[in-house]
């Protein structure tokens, strides 16, 4: 049963599971996988797919025939659902596009900033038990809006050696270029280093388990990554007027992800806390993934009782959750008090699941308290910025003395001379 705690008696570190280092032995296992894939390429990928996924593959890439079969066999109603979700995601992320700017306010001086897309991006999509179509939409669509030239998708094959029709249809709708039936740390290695079949990418994004997260951490620098994701988190901030069944259902929506997930309720109502505690037990009995959800609730779930909604917001900021639901009478009044959260869901009729699948804002979010300083995945993750600067001879001459003085104050004589030599001086100090 989930525990009920008083806010004054707990520390944030005691509330959420925030172990990013994983289990003993994971680092060594991932090191071995990265080394083997870098050395043996596709042969290593086939061996790891046979060992970890129980599938013998001759071709790692999803064929055109497989894509067409998935498209033709997909339920039309679900295709329409995918298309509507994709439309919502595009609409939201198109607003994130940054614009180049130029400043030419001083005579002879032009400066500015330009945005260019990353050339090639790899997207990891986990399978549980099938590749997540929602993750495909949420990762591929912002990359496409950003202008990424090639989007490469990797996901583990199912027991029959295929990728689900739902996932393939989502990839086609979102605009993925190539899809490979590879998962785990070996997929990260393939994207980072390249193999005979899988091209080397410039950035790797997308969620995964501890092996994927560890591999992403280890290849950072060889390639860019989006984030190192920890276990899923939800914090429901609720007042005493909430339906306890609704609150329990939202907590379980994250608990069923993983035994390490953290479902947390913060409320100013002790009666609601006790009702949700009982309701969780009732709903767990009929949940298909009840064993996973129960371990999550019992090991990492918490109900925290505060003295007021303002104190509840303080608790939320200390925890900095991945998902934050404001299930209160006036969520917009409470919103200005929220400083740290990956994504915020306002009101009693906005469950976290709405954002996971359909509404439009991205569901790839900072976990493990990193919402204190990081942001959801978006278009910005797929572009890079370059500054540019232009000075005429006259403009440089007018400021060269300032540049040279600055440089010499820092003990960098060559810097000073580089400015002065263009302005009719010898470039030597004192001349």
Instruction: Give me the active site residues, please.
Output: 322-323
The string of DSSP letters for 106-144 reads STTEEEEEEEEE-SEEEEE--BSSSB-HHHHHHHHHHHH
Helix axes 165-174, 64-73, angle to 10 degrees: 100
Give the residues across from 302 on adjacent strands. 3, 264
The DSSP call for residue 63 is P
Q: Are 263 and 251 in contact (CB under 8 A)?
A: yes
> Cα separation of 33 and 153, whole Å?
19
Paired with 383 in beta bridges are 117
The number of CA neighbours under 13 Å toward the Cβ of 337 is 18
Task: Name the DSSP class of 367.
Answer: -
How far is the C-alpha of 325 from the C-alpha of 162, rounded, in Å? 37
Q: 210-219 vs 26-40: helix axis angle to the nearest 10?
A: 60
The residues with which 150 forms a beta bridge, in sequence order, are 120
Q: How far is CA 33 from the centre of its chain?
A: 23
Cβ neighbours of 413 (radius 10 Å): 14
CA distances from 151 to 10, 129, 247 (A): 44, 23, 38
């Amino acid at each position: 049963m989930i525990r009920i705690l008083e806010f004054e008696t707990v520390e944030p570190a005691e509330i959420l599971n925030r172990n990013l280092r994983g289990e003993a032995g994971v680092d060594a296992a991932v090191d071995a996988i990265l080394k083997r894939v870098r050395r043996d390429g596709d042969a290593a990928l086939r061996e790891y797919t046979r060992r970890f996924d129980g599938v013998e593959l001759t071709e790692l890439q999803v064929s055109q025939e497989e894509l067409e079969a998935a498209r033709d066999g997909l339920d039309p109603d679900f295709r329409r659902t995918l298309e509507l979700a994709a439309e919502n995601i595009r609409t939201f992320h198109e607003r994130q596009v940054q614009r180049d700017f130029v400043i030419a306010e001083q005579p002879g001086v032009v400066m500015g900033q330009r945005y260019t897309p990353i050339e090639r991006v790899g997207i990891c999509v986990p399978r549980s038990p099938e590749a997540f179509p929602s993750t495909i939409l949420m990762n591929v669509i912002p990359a496409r809006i950003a202008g990424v030239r090639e989007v490469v998708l990797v996901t583990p094959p199912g027991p029959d050696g295929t990728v689900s029709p739902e996932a393939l249809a989502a990839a086609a709708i979102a605009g993925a270029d190539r899809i490979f039936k590879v998962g785990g740390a070996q997929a990260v290695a393939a994207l980072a280093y390249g193999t005979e079949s899988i091209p080397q990418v410039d950035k790797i994004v997308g969620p995964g388990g501890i092996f994927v997260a560890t591999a992403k951490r280890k290849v950072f620098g060889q390639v860019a990554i989006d984030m190192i994701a920890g276990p899923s988190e939800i914090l429901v901030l609720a007042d005493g007027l909430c339906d306890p069944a609704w609150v329990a259902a939202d907590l379980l929506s994250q608990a069923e992800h993983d035994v390490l997930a953290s479902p947390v309720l913060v409320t100013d109502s002790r009666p609601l806390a006790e009702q949700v505690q009982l309701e969780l037990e009732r709903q767990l009995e009929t949940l298909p993934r009840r064993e996973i959800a129960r371990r999550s609730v019992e090991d990492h779930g918490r109900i925290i009782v505060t003295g007021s909604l303002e104190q509840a917001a303080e608790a939320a900021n200390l925890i900095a959750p991945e998902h934050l639901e404001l299930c209160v009478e006036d969520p917009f009044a409470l919103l200005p008090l929220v400083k740290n959260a990956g994504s915020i869901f306002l009101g009693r009729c906005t469950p976290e699941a709405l954002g996971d699948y359909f509404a439009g804002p991205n569901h790839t979010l900072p976990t493990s308290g990193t919402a204190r300083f990081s942001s959801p995945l978006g278009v910005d993750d797929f572009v890079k910025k370059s500054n540019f600067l232009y000075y005429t001879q006259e403009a440089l001459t007018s400021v060269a003395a300032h540049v040279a003085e600055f440089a010499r104050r820092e003990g960098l004589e060559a810097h000073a001379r580089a400015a002065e030599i263009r302005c009719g001086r010898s470039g030597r100090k004192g001349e």
